[in-house]
Structure 1
């Protein structure tokens, strides 16, 4: 039971990290800022995701 739960949590974190990276890539920030955010999210998946959610660049909203 524990390993199944851990696997599910890992998949959720992976999906959220991918979503964050796509959002950063679509944002209107400079290329350097995008690269720094993506590296942060890749190196620190959980902490980077939390920091990005609080202070990261936002993607262009679809109108």
Structure 2
């Protein structure tokens, strides 16, 4: 099994686990669509979508597999802080695949 397949499998399991944990905790605040602090609601959905975008971007990049795993774990364990750290400190432009053209000889 290649390392990319293994990382993809781990990422898929982490995404499925995060979907299971994103359900609202309390049933008392059903009329409050924001549900701060319960892991659900509109804010939780937006953060989940942004985290999935980061996972896809990291896995499609040309980073070494260990760096991909570390970034995915940081974003999974700390969704908001990891998301902000990734966009501020990851040097995304240098790891984009196909970001530039090669000159022809």
With structure 2 as the length reference, what TM-score do the two structures score?
Answer: 0.53
Cα RMSD (Å): 2.2
Greater share of residues in helix: 1
With structure 1 as the length reference, what TM-score do the two structures score?
Answer: 0.84
Tell which structure's C-alpha radius of gyration is larger: 2
**Where has structure 1 moved over 3 Å in runs of 4 or more?**
none
If asked which structure has higher relative contact order (CA below 8 Å, sep 6+), I would say 1
**Structure 1 spans left out of the alignment, 5+ residues:** none
**Structure 2 spans left out of the alignment, 5+ residues:** 1-29, 36-40, 101-105
Aligned length, in residue pairs: 63
